[in-house]
Chain A
Amino acid sequence: MAPYLLLLPALIFLATFTYWPMAQVVFASAFEGRTIGSATTYVAFGNYLRLLDDEDFLGALWNTILFITWTVIPSMALGFLFALALRRSGWLSNIHRALLFFPTLLPLVAAASLFIFIFLPGVGLLDYYLAKIGVHGINWLGDPDLALWSIMLLTIWKNAGYYMLFFLAGLQSLPEDAEDAALIEGASWWQRQYFVVIPMLGPTFAFVSVIAIITAVVQVDHVIVMTKGGPNNATNLLLFYVYQQAHEFYDIGKATAATVVTLAFLLALSALSLRTMERRVHYES
């Protein structure tokens, strides 16, 4: 009984603010409801079927998968490389750490507003420098083939420094003797990183990947500020889709069903990444 009593305070908060709303959303997704006109009617899986029929939703799902893949991997890789490079303390490396961490401190909305002007075709900062090497007038946010990648660029810029912090902390806590042993055995720098450092950082990788995936799915500010999901839904992500269905189109049925799908998607991804990472995790006795 005692362990449950100890869990109770946290459980009350989790139940009120997480589990209960989740149950409510699942329940609500079985009803079709709009603010105007029709009353709510029970439709069982009707809302989910309507989602499958909605090109915008399928597009948003695909965009989200692309977005997760191409923001999580590069920003984690960069974060890890930064951490390796700046592993030893010193004034120079402290300055670099601060600079690389700086984007994390900016609110996403502010960063997105800044990047609108960086991405402006013809007159923006990016095009200004590209013009010097003969590349002209790329419409970064206005071209459906580029818009999502442009937003990814901002996301990677913003998150890499944050993940660097976790990797730095992870590196500090590694026992030095393992690396020293490898060094004495004649392992090259690459071999030491690949066979010693990375496996020992397993828990950090597992943790950061879960954080990074969640961040990629729940951040929506940049989409709202920069493109509103456009051009022609090219940057429509799951969470933005939910927001739009609920608050702009008042299709509560679709919005709740899409929320459930997003939740399930997130849970599955988190479980998967924890599971795969766990196998490579190195535990200290």
Chain B
Amino acid sequence: MSFIKTFVGAVALTAFAGGATAAERIEFMFPAPVQGKLSREMQRIVKEYNASQDTVEVIGVFTGSYDDTKIKAQAATEAGKPPAVVLMGANFAAELAMSDLIEPISAVAPEGTNLDAFLNEFWPAVRANAKFDGQLYSIPFQNSTPILYYNKEHFAEAGISKAPETWAEWIKAAKKLTKADGERWGLMMPSNYDYNGWLVQALAMSSGGSFYNTSYPGEIYYDHASTKAALKFWRDMAHTHKAMPTGVTDSKAVSTAFFSGKSSMIVLSTGALSFVRNNAKFDYDVAFIPRNVRNSVPIGGASLVSFKGTTPEQKAAAWDFMSYLVSKEVIGGWSRFTGYFSPRKTAYDLPVMQEFVKNNPDALTAVEQLKYAGPWIATYNTVAVRKAVEDEMQALLSDEKLTIDEAAARAQKNANEVLKPYVESTALRF
């Protein structure tokens, strides 16, 4: 009985509250690629925002991985319910803008907002992925770069004094750290879809080349020397140096192996930093991704976008919520909680951030690596183009007989096939 009373009371209260304030309701879709804890924290931030004012009510919807979030946001748009705010994989903004699915930020922000000054508060490395055709389409919120995590106790035991800085040192260290029969691997890197392409890009950039044409979304460089160097380095780690397990390794397996001492070095996103900090029961440290010819890594992470088809009121609400999320305090807090670096440079000026960085110097490595960071692969139909090289990398890790030339040529051919409709649409017909 009392349960029913409470229930009726609650319904009446909600109805009353809803009528009295008439807050603008908007939907916010967000992924949480690393761990469940992040999605709980995000819901807490949304709640705090809702409590802080009474004009906007945000409904947070957890949507899984980056790729899944893109699928769900597009499906909702096709069903006539475009989400007003989505935390979207940073490299998808270009493709979504190209297909006219998202609003330029200038259409969401109030008239007269100086977006150039706004963007200047963000690190230069994250700006390229936020823009398409000169216009700002997304606001960076959580960003990362791949980074090397290593077990200091294993290093001491093997007599290695510092983190490897070049590929030659990296290979030497990995071989030295490996123990027979899979008891311990020198190095593990996630080779499941999504992570795989990101790391091939990192290794290709490290070898000096471009991975794709940053100003034309119809061109990819899988059969160029730098990408081949990336494929070869990764393949050799497994087959030639035997310092890494063969076959495909999921990111979950990589972190688990690191925590259980089965792998001495791992490459993961800086977004996994808090996860590692909370779970590694030994002395660890982080370092730049070693260089082949130069230090260079792609950024990763996610940015805020707004889908087309919302009302002006929803746009105003979206802007209000986005501004709240990227405010120095909130974006800085999120960075401390997760390990992602804050794309908003000025957040690091806050005393609480300076204090945090002083106590956790590992948080600074990602920020320092930013100097050498470039944009993340963003082409027409990015996921399909990315998969072309990921399939070949996976095949190389499993099949010792497959040659680099063969794999690179097939990746290029399959990617070209995917890019063809776009390339044809940009060419004049004679």
Contact = CB atoms under 8 A, between A and B. Distances in A.
Interface string A233-247: 100000000000001
Contacts of B98: 36
Given A120-B256, A137-B182, A232-B395, A142 B250 contact: yes
Interface in A241-285: 247-250
A229 B260 CA distance: 28
B185 to A, nearest CB: 8
B256 A36 contact: no
B391 A136 contact: no
Nearest to B65: A228
B262 A123 contact: yes
Contacts of A136: 181-182
Given A144-B394, A247-B71, A123 B260 contact: yes
Contact of B247 (A228, A231, A233): A231
Interface string B165-206: 000000000000000011000000001110000000000000
Nearest to A134: B181
Interface residues of A, number: 31
A199 B75 CA distance: 49
B182 A248 contact: no
B361 interface: no
Interface residues of B, number: 41
B398 A249 contact: no
Contacts of A117: 252
B interface secondary structure, majority: helix
Contacts of A249: 381, 383-384, 418
Q: Among A37, A136, A141, A229, find the residue whose CB has the most chain B CB atoms closer than 10 A.
A: A37
B248 A231 contact: yes
Contacts of B252: 116-117, 120
Interface in B77-126: 95, 98-99
Interface in B366-410: 380-381, 383-384, 390-392, 394-395, 397-399
A122 B99 contact: no
B253 interface: yes
B391 A123 contact: no
A116 B192 CA distance: 13
A231 B191 CA distance: 9
A121 interface: yes
A35 interface: yes
B384 A233 contact: no
A228 to B, nearest CB: 5
Given A123-B253, A139-B247, 14 more contacts: A34-B421, A36-B422, A37-B425, A122-B253, A142-B249, A144-B395, A145-B398, A147-B248, A231-B394, A232-B392, A232-B394, A248-B67, A249-B381, A249-B384
Interface of B: 67, 71, 74-75, 95, 98-99, 181-182, 191-193, 245-250, 252-253, 256-257, 260, 262, 380-381, 383-384, 390-392, 394-395, 397-399, 418, 421-422, 424-425
19 contacts: A36-B98, A120-B252, A120-B256, A121-B249, A122-B253, A122-B260, A123-B256, A139-B245, A139-B246, A141-B250, A142-B245, A143-B248, A230-B193, A231-B247, A232-B392, A232-B398, A247-B71, A249-B383, A249-B384
